[in-house]
Amino acid sequence: MLSLITRALCLLAAGTLLGLAVNGVRADGVRFARFAPPSVCTMTPDSGEAPGPAPVEALAPPDAAGLCGDPSTLIADVRPAADFAQGHVTGAIHLPCTASGEAASAAVDLVAGRQTLIVYGDGTDDARRVADELRQRIRRRDLRIVVVSGGFGAWSQAGLACSSGPCLHCAAPAAVSASVTRGPGSAP
Amino acid sequence: MRRSAVLALLLRLVLGALLIVAGLLKLRDPTAFATEIANYQLLPRGAAVLAAVLPSIEVVVGASLLALPRLWRRGAAAAALALFVVFTGAVASAYFRRINIDCGCFGTGGGPIGALTLVRNLALIAAAVAVLRLDRSPARRPAVSG
């Protein structure tokens, strides 16, 4: 007859196996090898001396475009869906700032394994809001977050590459993930 | 139904539902939950594995508390007690080290750790102990002879 402790261990083992199996088949499951624990703790101000991750940078469009050829770079467009459909930086995902909380959660997963995240909007400020929120959520020191100065308008005026088309994944962050798994290979 | 049996039933329902809800909320974003675990600075390298298995363990234990026969329910109560003790240890560790982090008790956005978090976890431990003590087979009455 099984003892109380044996039954408890059986249930814990069943939960463990179920968790590993579910995590293995989930597209958004946590990846053991790639997961980077936050390198900076969120200590209270009087005790924290550890340096934080690099702050969000602002780069001129040509400089930002120079980062796009790297497959470890992810580009995010924070403008409304209609503007995204009319034209966006080639390879960009749509990450509207109107849904920044939920979408930013999805973006946390999307940037796993990436080294650079380029965020742009109509101007600099709207992109910076989203970028700052992402910086708060993603404390990885090896992730560089960049805002395009002047936004999409400045990008277009600089004659850099753009694409257009409907935003198929604006409503669901999960769909954003599906889109982005193709990677930002079509860099300008 | 004896009063102790009613109390055991109520506690089982509360603990079971709580564990299932907490597990399901954590399952929504396992990577974010892994970050919450890593923020405790106890097992940063094991955070990803813990984030993968803890939510399912909570769901399995919670469902067992609600649905399984008494012998297995008691096993689930013991497992829940072990979970709550570990969780409380982690929360107490963060609280007394003055690490300002989210609890992660219900996935992301569970609120910062405070004294209330500790009290709540201690109450959960007490509830699990109570289920273990109260959810027993009714004592058999001695046969009446003569």
Q: Which of residues 25-64 of B touch A (CB under 8 A)?
A: 27, 29-35, 38-39, 41, 44-45, 47-49, 51-61, 64
Q: How many CB pairs under 8 A join A and B?
A: 118
CA-angle at B17, arms to B11 and B22, nearest 5°:
125
CB atoms within 10 A of CB A115: 15
Instruction: Report d(CA A179, CA B11) in Å as an integer.
Output: 45
Per-residue confidence (pLDDT) for residue B113, from 0 to 100: 83
CA–CA gap between residue B82 and residue B51 (Å, rounded): 17
pLDDT of residue A10: 93
The superfamily in CATH containing domain A57-180 is Rhodanese-like domain (3.40.250.10)
Closest to B77 measured CA to CA, from B19, B6, B3, B138: B19
Q: How many CA atoms lie within 13 A of B41 on its CB side?
A: 15
Tell me what the pLDDT averaged over chain B comes to.
86
- Please list every residue in chain B whose beta carbon sits closer than 8 Å to the beta carbon of residue A107: none
Which portions of chain B are predicted below pLDDT 50? 145-146
Residues of chain A with pLDDT under 50: 40-50, 99-100, 168-188
- Backbone φ and ψ for B138, nearest 5 degrees, come out as -60, 140
Q: Give the per-residue pLDDT at A137.
A: 77
Q: Is A120 helix (H, G, I), strand (E, B) or coil?
A: strand
Rounded to an integer, what is the distance from CA A78 to the centroid of its chain? 12
pLDDT for A156 equals 86
A91 φ/ψ sector (left φ>0, alpha ψ -120 to 50, else beta): left
d(CA B28, CA B128): 26
Which DSSP helix (H) or strand (E) runs through A148?
A: strand A144-148
Interatomic CA distance for residues A163 and A167, integer angstroms? 11
- Choose among A9, A20, A41: nearest Cβ to B99: A41
Question: Which pLDDT belongs to residue B139?
Answer: 58
| Number of other CB atoms surrounding residue A24 within 10 Å | 9
Read off the pTM.
0.55
